[in-house]
Structure 1
Amino acid sequence: MNFSKSAFLAGAASVAVSFSSAFAGPLVNQLGFAPDAEKMVVYPGSDANGLEVRDLNGKTVLKLDAPMVYDWDYSGEEVQSFDISALKVPGTYRLFRGGEYVGTPIVVGKNVYDDLVKAALKWFYYQRSSMALDPQYAGKWARAAGHKDDKVIIYGSDKVTGGKGAGKTIKSDRGWYDAGDYGKYIVNSGITVFTLLEAYENFPKYLDSLSWNIPREFAKYPEILEEVRYNLDWMLTMQDKDGGVYHKVTTLKFGGSVMPEKDDAPRYAIIKNVTASLDFAAVMAQASVVYRNIDKAYADKMLKAAEKAYGWAKKNPKAFYKQPADVQTGSYAPGDENGKDEFRWAAAELYRAKVVAGSKNDKAAATYLADLKANPFTPDGAWWGNVNMLAAFRVAQDSASFDKDLVAAAKKVVLDEANNLRAVGDTSGYHLPAFPWSWNWGSNSAMANNGMVLVHAYLLTGDRSYVDGAQQCLDYLLGKNPMDISYVTGFGYRSPRNPHHRPSESDMVDDPVPGMLVGGPHLGKQDINLDGKEHWKCPDYAAADKPALAYLDNRCSYATNEVAINWNAPLVYLAAALEVIYGK
């Protein structure tokens, strides 16, 4: 049954809880599959009928008996999983059960994720601060420039925030808006830029081949590096003369749902700290490697900035970010911060950068390597609050720079995590490699990051079973989920229409910008009042008691329907990886 779910998902809690059972049908990746990909169809319930696949001429090409029934705790459903991987001939197919047509068409073909990758990358252009988005690039989502950020006030230097004077200012223009709001945050930019550059490092030929219509300043750059530079340039403005890096550029409070040029409250560069400085150091070091062959001067500039930031962090190892009482924008500061994972990541990236720059034997390189060896990998990550896995990715892939013991330790971390994920995906009702802790704010990014771990395991071993697990992660994001929705705007038969995203809320365009991965379901319910009172005019979905069902396609649901740069980046990585691997 091809019902549009967007209207239902914006309704009451009873709808959110009962939707999949009321409209039970096959749940499948709505964009399709490469011919050699694993292809799973999940069917809620315990129907005794098998599944039949027919081509558009009505010819039966595959028949499967009814499989075992499994419980899936995350939705409270009984489900059956059909493996249709034998379907390898490119084409469009339909599913039948009990002689009745069910579900939506299934596509098998090459390059089924190309447009998704390009749109997910193009979205970063739509998030650009400080510049107008012209119609020739932005289409109907063109807008005026917002936040020139040419006079950003240093927090604490003006009378409003406790200082005595008019306030010292810096120029901190360019960069990407972080999420549904208009802030720019170093910590979240760090993991975002890493992920995009990692995609480029792992799959350069594929990403070099793509074009998605953005303005060009650096004609010799691949487009992805052009886009990433727009944010790197902003990050460089956030470093003080002493090497320390400010945490964020935001207003003191979140602004309203207005276009960026209407958000005119004073903007502040808020508090230098060790976490921001180390994330900055890691990304600048990584970027210096990636850009070295196309822009040596820029690469040298970034490496110098990275080393200076690391030096500041070494001198100020306890200078963690603490949100001031008068600042109410995102804190990006986990409560259990100790800095070890950031030091680990920054040391790994800096040592590799020094090796690539031909400075392997200088004193600074020796310090980075010693620091890394004294700070062992842990089985954690990856998310903005713990970047240990990013360090493991770097070292595991680079036996030319790191010694065999470090490489072996890093590989063990990556493969242990991947094996745990693969085991869950192979045995769960929805075939989703997800842990209980994956169901948090931004759960969809957790699924994409899980897929990224599995892709790295494949790159390290050549074992295609890890690719199957990565495919399962993308399948979930693109429709194989209890809500029967592709969580990426503009892609699939049913996708979010009302993301929590200020430009989408105020631009008077019905369609949201395509290519945005919304945060996804979880039970945090931070956007509702559990006493039942209306909050942000958001329908109450508190009755949803299973994490995979607690989602609302409503702009008020910032807990489940916001967008963010660090969620889109692993979507880019995962979809690009599957395009490349299955395209071989």
Structure 2
Amino acid sequence: MSLRNFILSLFLHVFFITFLKGQDHSQAWIRINLVGYAPAGVKVAVYGTKNTSQSIQTFELVEVKTARVVLKKAAGKDFGAYGPFVHAFRLDFTQFSVPGTYYLQAGSARSPEFSIRENIYEGTADFALRYMRQQRSGYNPFLKDSCHTHDGYTVYGPMPDGTHIDVAGGWHDATDYLQYATTSANATYHLLAAYRDFPESFTDKHQANGLVGTNGRADVLDEATWGLEWLMKMHPRADWMFNQLADDRDHAGFRMPNKDTVDYGYGKGKGRPVYFITGDVQGLGKFKNRATGTASTAGKLASAFALGSQLYAALDPTLAQTLKVKSLSAFQYGQAKPGVAQTASVKAPYFYEEDNWVDDMELGAAAMYQLTNDKKYFEQGMEYSSQEPITPWMVKDTARHYQWYPFHNFGHYELALKSDKEARAKLMSYYKQGIEKIWQRGKHNAFYRGVPFIWCSNNLTTSFAIQCYLYRTLTGDQTYIQLEQACFDWLFGCNPWGTSMVYGLPAQGDTPVDPHSSFTVLHQYPLDGGLVDGPVYGKIYNSLLGLKLGSADEYARFQSDLVVYHDDYGDYSTNEPTMDGTASLIYLLAAKDTDSRRGVRGKK
């Protein structure tokens, strides 16, 4: 999209929202998945009203082209109050599967138009890859320029502090330009797994450097390789591993990465600090983390290297062998000092407070077993799995920032792929226990919302939907398919605000246009495919410092004491895109595309 067209699009969006605020006095709305629905899949919308006396008995599905009512059904159960709504209903039209363009009508409320078609999610995973390319450090193909090429100088390592080591590359974590081994390794794993599991969902339209062109490899593999190359720099030899590049001194306002001068502020000229993993408490200023070991990061690196080695075995045997060696040494690095390698801060007491590590070592062991077929790794993985069967946030209603990360345990699935019937049943029972916890919290509201509204709630929602998908595909159990779809639909508009949480997806829908990002704030560059952090509890939003909206809140009618979301660059808590969340979304979009292509049926 050209800058001129983007500005025009932004103007029309703001005009449209302003017009609605001035003209639309309705008190009822129908929330849908704005991307659309697969013919064979679950199809549910949510009707919500703020009027205590405004209820519904039936709803209709109307074909746009003919204005013909093609389905009329009872609205069913009133789920009662949720968020801004005093009444809410689930409008289930799963039984209808004829391709076409439709809208829903219930009482005075009419939904946006949407499509039902088999290829409804085609191209969406590739679309989200645009954001990953835009987040590249080193050479940035979106800007066609380089940034942060002098990174970095070491701290906490066995070498003298200030020693230069080449760690240029990788992805910026979010709007700031910090880079973390833990989020980058998790993102890399998701991209590799998406290529392995859903190759038909990806195309080859970019070169390895991210510029337009072809190189004979799917773009998702190019992006995963970009991650692998940086992770190898962060583990340059068997007894060296680094955890993060830069720290919160980077939080110095909006600026473009290729014009960044903050690296001068670290006191070493150009270049930023790269933190060696010691397994001990770290923090260069007043504030310290609570690090206890190396395994949380080392396990993630081991799994990414091992899966990368498997996928490159036929494509590039030399790289595959290098990755195999790296996976072995990374796994051993984690075994040497069990515990968590948290990130470090200087200016404020905010860091990634990861408190679990056995899930990372389980996934590392599973990937090592798949790579080597050495039974000892399977046995180690099963032992780790029993120590944390359920990802802890699933049994909580709150958590500290990235306290339990990744947000679902891929290790259970990867172990189950190469296990006997008994082990598979045990591992899938772990998934089911976690899913059931969320179901028990969510089944009483119309959105089936059981995921807590903590910071990065969209990332949790994406991961939870992936866990539901992995459980369903391995067991054939469709008990939770509506819950799974509700999480997916939430991300694309079936939520109280009626907005997609992914920039530019779908193109004609209500999506973020004013995210917390230097790219948009300074130059109105689109952040195509970026998944924003997502809604947070009202109590969290009200406690945050330095948060001020830049314009009137177009979603004011839909905010509540329970939860808030703002499409405003001033709200860094709900409207900042993240690299690792987007990488997880790419896996989920590819999974949904594959389901749609294969005609996987939803439970009616």
Q: TM-score range by the shorter chain?
A: 0.7 to 0.9
Q: How does 1:168-187 map to 2 (within 5 A)?
A: 168-187=163-182
- Deviation string for 1:19-68 (max 9, x for gaps)? 99965311111111111121112111342352222212122211123422
* 1:340-419 to 2 correspondences below 5 Å: 340-355=358-373, 360=374, 366=376, 368-377=377-386, 378-381=388-391, 385-387=404-406, 389-399=409-419, 403-419=420-436
Preserved contact between residue 244 and residue 277 of structure 1 (Cα < 8 Å)? no
How far residue 428 of structure 1 moved from its aligned partner, in angstroms, is 3.6
Aligned position for 1:88:
97
Give the one of 498, 501, 514 matched to 2:514: 498
| Residue in 2 that maps onto 1:226 | 222
Query: Which runs of structure 2 are paired with 1:11-50 in the superposition (5 Å)?
Result: 23-45=27-49, 46-50=54-58
Moved more, 379-388 or 301-310: 379-388
Counterpart of 1:152, as a letter, is G
User: 2:454 matched to 1:440?
Assistant: yes
Write the mapping of 1:69-218 to structure 2, written as runs, cut at 5 A. Answer: 69-73=78-82, 77-98=86-107, 102-133=110-141, 138=142, 142-148=143-149, 150-156=150-156, 167-207=162-202, 209=203, 211=205, 214-215=210-211
Are the equivalent residues in 2 in contact too, given 1:382–1:389 (CA < 8 A)? Answer: no
Counterparts in 2 of 1:546 and 1:154: CA distance versus 1, 3 Å: same
Query: Aligned letter for 1:411?
Result: M
Q: Gaps spanning 5+ residues in structure 2: where?
A: 1-10, 264-270, 280-293, 394-401, 599-604
Match of 1:523 among 531, 537, 540: 537
**Residues 54/344 of structure 1: CA separation in 2 closer, same or farther (3 Å cut):** closer
Tell me the distance in 2 between the aligned counterparts of 1:379 and 1:410. 8
Aligned to 1:268: 273
What is the one-letter code of the residue matched to 1:333?
E
Contact persistence 1:243–1:305 (CA under 8 A): no
Q: Deviations over 1:258-307 (max 9, x none)?
A: 11012131411113141322221122112212222222211211121121
Work out the CA distance in 2 between the residues paired with 1:330 and 1:21: 42
Q: Structure 1 CA distance, aligned partners of 2:543 and 2:211?
A: 44
Task: Give the AA of the match of 1:175.
Answer: G
Q: Where in structure 1 are there 5+ consecutive unaligned residues?
A: none
> 1:154·1:170 contact (CA, 8 Å) conserved in 2?
yes
In the alignment, is residue 278 of structure 1 matched against residue 299 of structure 2?
Answer: yes
What residue number does 1:569 align with?
583
Shift of 1:572: 1.6
CA distance in 2, matches of 1:74, 1:479: 15
Structure-1-length-normalised TM-score: 0.82
Q: Could you tell which deviates more after superposition, 296-305 or 533-542?
A: 533-542
Q: Secondary structure at the match of 1:131?
A: strand
Whole-Å separation in 1 of the counterparts to 2:588 and 2:250: 34
Instruction: Check conservation: 2:61, 2:69, Cα contact below 8 A.
Output: yes
One-letter identity of the residue aligned with 2:93: I
Give, in whole Å, the separation in 1 of the partners of 2:426 and 2:24: 43
Q: Distance in 2 between matches of 1:5 and 1:507?
A: 18
CA contact under 8 A between 2:121 and 2:589: conserved in structure 1? yes
C-alpha displacement at 1:431, in angstroms?
A: 3.8
**TM-score, normalised on structure 2?**
0.80
Please, what is the CA RMSD of the aligned residues?
Answer: 3.5
Q: Are the structure 2 counterparts of residues 296 and 421 from structure 1 closer, same or farther at C-alpha, using a change threshold of 3 Å?
A: farther
- Letter of the 1:332 partner, please give it: Y
Number of aligned positions between the proteins: 537
Inter-partner Cα distance in structure 2 for 1:539 and 1:497: 13
Task: Provide the C-alpha distance between the structure 1 equivalents of 2:121 and 2:274, rounded to a whole number of angstroms.
Answer: 38
Q: Does 1:67 align with 2:81?
A: no
Who is 1:52 aligned against?
60
CA contact (8 A) 1:243 1:311 kept: no
User: Cα gap change, 1:29/1:408 in structure 2, threshold over 3 Å: closer, same or farther?
Assistant: same
Q: 1:170 is paired with a residue of what secondary structure?
A: coil
Deviations 1:431-454 (A, max 9, x none): 43524xx32111111111111011
CA distances 1:217-237 after superposition (whole Å, capped 9, x unpaired): 993432211111011101110
The percent identity for this pair of structures is 23
Which amino acid in structure 2 is aligned with residue 104 of structure 1? P
Residue aligning to 1:256: 253
Do the aligned residues in 1 keep the contact of 2:148 with 2:257 (CA within 8 Å)?
Answer: yes
The 1:202–1:465 alpha-carbon spacing in structure 2 relative to 1, beyond 3 Å, is farther
1:168 Cα offset (Å): 0.4
Q: Decide whether aligned partners of structure 1 residues 504 and 404 sit closer, same or farther in structure 2, where only a CA change above 3 A counts.
A: same
